[in-house]
Homo-oligomer: A and B are copies of this chain.
């Protein structure tokens, strides 16, 4: 049985569904495979309308959806209202991306002579892969779950979606799936474009089902690697796009520390504890210069963390994992506690991530924690992500030591640098060169937790940040994950997809590369 829990009390509120059986899963996958050519045949314009319809229906059910998500995640209505706004923006943004049509990479080489002899007429564009499995995240019940970025980009590409509902928010998942179906129907699309699967066994079978052609996943390294291995070991392997989180490093350069250490400390404390530290882009490590301005920054950071309250974590498992992980970090030799936030209500012990019994002060709590580690202690657990509101300060003596520390870091989603030009320029160049080799996004004078939905966003990075460094789960390019090229050689005009015809007509006109030159629609 799949139960919905109240994250603030830890108690079961409702039974949402049964685990999806093998036969049910097979039927869902077959339906998705049958719907795939129909979804593609709708064309970009009608799929854009469908995505907008889904956004409108989600907005119409805003109160209900936010309430369900808040009960299951304890993330709070303000945050979840914002997340719903983002989710709807994302659906509409994906509608814009496919309306624009450049994502098709439409390319035409007219027949002609080449140094290798005559070349036939060749026309290439991207087409949908087929049904896509999506594994939603615990920490974004909307924007990275059933109605989230993977779903939006896959539907935009023309791929039906089968979502494995996250056990942290099954009721929200069910409500969202129904809402999306309603939105599609309102836009005139009566196809099983979003199906829901419950249970871990069904999730694993989903990855292995022959009808599924790609997988999007947002979650832990262990869970993601397990499913990546399943996808890779299939008789017919499929791409697995796992966004697995990271230890996101922040470097504060000396002049920045001196000029605005307090401001950076406040911003960093807020970023590291936003959503009780349950962001894959949470800054987990800050490299602070030795010396007095670094001391002040560290002390300001400690003050800021001390003033923060404990927060409800998403699930018992996440809270336990945070409790264990943060306890292990503070127990390491070379590590000391700089500050802790306020502990939780009655029934909880002092310390991070302590699960509590039901009732007053129930649910699962995470307590903000600031540690300081010697530079020499940086290998091992300190170099890995600890999901939750913990931030580790490491001091560096000079640019050379900073470089060494950065070289030792594993690839991540982001790296951040606070630097003031021209004083910090030499150090800044080293940091940018070193970190941009191993992260997907480098942030200057900011904080990594905000991940804007836009044309230029890249949310990814080399393993273990993701399982595929070429792709992003946020931004316009997210659609590329669900598409493959097809080349049409020497085709009669009428047999070509409309976007590749000599005369595509206004509805199908997109930017194309024709005989080597880009041609505007």
Contacts and interface: CB of A to CB of B under 8 A. Distances in A.
A414 B238 CA distance: 20
Contacts of A492: 421, 444
B464 A236 contact: yes
Contacts of A105: 477
A495 B444 contact: yes
Contacts of A109: 452, 454-457
21 contacts: A37-B433, A85-B115, A107-B455, A119-B454, A123-B456, A124-B475, A130-B437, A229-B232, A239-B470, A421-B492, A421-B494, A429-B495, A440-B486, A442-B489, A442-B491, A444-B490, A445-B490, A457-B487, A460-B485, A470-B480, A470-B481
Nearest to A454: B109
Interface string A17-52: 000000000000000000001000000000000000
A495 B107 CA distance: 34
A66 to B, nearest CB: 15
A108 B320 CA distance: 41
B236 A463 contact: yes
Interface string A107-126: 11100001110011011100
Nearest to A82: B116
Interface stretch (A165-173, A201-209, A391-399, A511-519): A511-519
Contacts of A127: 436
A228 interface: yes
A443 to B, nearest CB: 4
The residue among A109, A443, A486, A511 with the most chain B CB atoms within 10 A of its own CB is A486
A489 B444 contact: yes
Given A116-B86, A487-B456, A489-B441, A518 B520 contact: yes
Contact of A432 (B441, B450, B464, B495): B495
A483 interface: yes
Contacts of A228: 232, 237
Interface string A499-518: 00000000000010101101
A495 B429 CA distance: 7
A486 to B, nearest CB: 5
A264 to B, nearest CB: 14
B469 A129 contact: yes
Interface of A: 37, 82, 85-86, 89, 96, 100, 102, 105, 107-109, 114-116, 119-120, 122-124, 127, 129-130, 213, 228-229, 232-233, 236-239, 421, 428-429, 432-433, 436-437, 439-446, 450, 452-458, 460, 462-464, 467-470, 472, 475-477, 480-481, 483-492, 494-495, 511, 513, 515-516, 518, 520
Nearest to A484: B469
A486 B436 contact: yes
Contacts of A120: 443, 446, 450, 452
Contact of A463 (B96, B116, B237, B460): B237
Contacts of A428: 495
A96 to B, nearest CB: 8
A515 B238 CA distance: 33
Nearest to A521: B518
Contact of A483 (B82, B122, B470): B470
Given A456-B124, A494-B421, A487 B440 contact: yes
Given A232-B232, A454-B122, A442 B114 contact: no
Contacts of A238: 463
A457 B489 CA distance: 9
Contacts of A432: 495
Q: Which 7 A-B pairs have the closest CB atoms?
A: A458-B487, A232-B232, A122-B456, A107-B456, A441-B487, A124-B456, A458-B485
Contacts of A421: 492, 494-495
A441 B129 CA distance: 15
A518 to B, nearest CB: 6
Given A37-B433, A114-B452, A477-B485, A457 B491 contact: no
A432 B486 CA distance: 11
Contacts of A453: 114, 116
Contacts of A107: 455-456, 476
Contacts of A441: 486-489
Contacts of A445: 490
